Structure 1
Amino acid sequence: MPTHPHLFDVAIIGGGIIGSATAYYLMQQDPQLSVCVIEPDPGYELASALRSSGGCRVQFTGAENIAMSLYSIDFIKNFEHTMATATHPAPVDWVEGGYLFVVPPQDTANLERNARFQQSQGCTLDLLSPAELKDRFPAMYVDDLGAGVHTPHDGWCDPYGLLWGFRRKAIELGVQYIAERVVAADHDAVQAKSVTLGNGQIIRATSFVNATGAWSGDVAKLFNMSLPIVPVRRFEHYFTPGSHVGHLPYVKDTARLAFRSEGQGYSGGLVDGNVPRGYHFEVDHKNFEEVVWPAVAHRFPAFEAARCHRSWAGLYEVNELDGNPVIGAWNARLPNLYTVAGFSGHGMMHAPAAGRGIAELIIHGRFQSIDLSRLGYERVEQNAPYPEQGIL
């Protein structure tokens, strides 16, 4: 614990799943650190991760994203055994339900190329023809498909359990959580010095981490940093079919339809990347009927008589540059200001690897486990998008 309540080695702004994972890894790697996490929403009412579907997949094309997935999925699978505290278990209800990407004929060559690269990176997958898709998933309409890739060891978990597991473990290791909002930042030409909270308290630290997700662009502005990360509303629905479909993996297509089995029904939606940016949480109850239902019913005709039981809204933290996270320090200006944000829907699944990476960067000055340098802020300054083709 810090000797002075306002002075820390590391101050993490944002205590959601990314910020809490970062706090955990900092303490795991250096138990002598004094670390605080500043989180204005301690009940996580608006947290993006808790409004997500909890999916975890290896079907990316960037080596860094694949490596983060492989590590994070293995970590999540063992979470309840390694992250329990003295007073709380750490269940995350991992389901190895698999992922299935399906594409039309014109995208088959690209999917096959991606699959070969994923295999070269250690991923287990099955490349399936339309006939093989039909054989494996009889309820699926495949006449307009060219191919699919099934990754059987992917799956999903309970985001609530994952977030609280990281938070409780971080607290057990000595992290201090502060239920406040950062409203201002003080810095000179070469160093971030302190942040001011809504209650007037000033937090000084040697290093600062911006892990505020959909709010990270606004927090960056407090340090005069330009970060192209914006909030984008997305909808999730829980629905049931009119006739038997059976257990499905997490199904995704090029139109950004994404849904999976959930208990006796199914959970998912269709992401519209063109919606207005902003902190919008209102639910459009026509979204399922007008957007999601036609897409689901086309791919699985049994959903012609689907019934939507519940809908909710959450935020994607979209990196407008390339849809990938910024993970690194602002080396050209304030090198003690670190960013780990902009995951564009992949934050929960990559939280363990990203948190570990930022902790390594702060403690050791470089990435040690997975080299995430290509995801640094430098590419934003250079307007050089990270070339990821696996975001559907």
Structure 2
Amino acid sequence: MKLAVQVKLLPTPGQASALEATLRTCNEAASWVAEVAFTEEAYRNFDLRKHTYAELKGRWGLGAQAAQHVIKKTANAYATLRANLKAGNLGKPGSRRYRQAAGKPLVFRPYAGQPHDDRMLSWQIDRLTVSIWTTSGRLENVHFAAGAEHVAVLSRYRQGESDLLYRDGAWFLSATCEVPEAQPNNDPVDFLGVDLGIVNIATTSDGETMAGRRLNHLRGRDLKLRAKLQRKGTKSAKRRAQRRRRKEARRIRDVNHKIAKHIVAEAERTGRGIGLENLTGIRERVRLRKPQRAMVHTWAFAQLGNFIAYKARRSGVPVVYVDPAHTSRTCSRCGHIDKANRVSQARFACRSCGFVDHADRNGSRNIRARAQMLWRSGAQSPAPAVPHQRDGRTQTAHHSQ
């Protein structure tokens, strides 16, 4: 499976200036290529190369590999845009948002990520340094910092391109690694049901609860601060709001990584599989009061589920996705379904047999039972596709505009 391991670069001031000039030049060139693509209606890599390759090398001073990566990055960005338009993610055809997205060329941010292949970047992992191409020439002995686990993965499994990233005043390299998956456990002794929520981020069928009270307090505080900054509307306020948003995203990602790691380790230790709810489309399905909407719509349910899924694949732990319908209203002891069973957010009391339990723990046990039933019957699990994952605690980077 593919993982992207991120390391932090530690360039000298002179090296940082060269890296900054390189990113700016490559992204200005990519914006020019995007304009040519829009004007000529040539969005494929091969077609764009005929229109732009020579000028990228001559006018922009890019090397052959850098020019090809700029063209490829632009073609991929337009492919992503077309996919989003087709899926309706940018509004309906003819809507204002749709016209704004489709009616003008893409523009790349000055510090959007830039891919480097092995001809442009070489790793000296034993010395924790890299040699990297820039528009000012090749930089030697650029140091980087990484944990021991990431260094081991890089030295054994790194393949293909690495992305140069700049974020919040720091430089990063994101390297693609092809990590082998563990031998899958095709005969789990049981399943560990996991119920995902807001108040309690995750509750397992073993009765273990990962509470989110402190995290929700911080998210509420950040939400109020961002609203205040948005009302102010100055450039500095917008920059600060952007930094706060990224900080919150990193915090949530870190928590999700830790929870996923703990759940997978427990399932692997006990020889069990993992049962999860298929929460695809939950934001469109649920109806909430206005104060609840921000908390639900900003919580990364899909991210936590994806982290559990890809860590489980690495460990050989099977994951089964179940239909989430009525898991919170069904009695895990007698199977009685009633809306009134859910007395409150935290309390479950069955109207039929009188069974009383914590609502999230009861739900996780229903998920466990459904996962067992699906596995034993051989029915297909409605599992969403697990995307290409980024390992580490730093933010995922994109090549988009």
Structure 1-normalised TM-score? Answer: 0.25
Greater share of residues in strand: 1
Structure 2-normalised TM-score? Answer: 0.25
Greater share of residues in helix: 2
Bigger relative contact order, structure 1 or 2 (CA pairs below 8 A, ≥6 apart): 1
Larger radius of gyration: 2
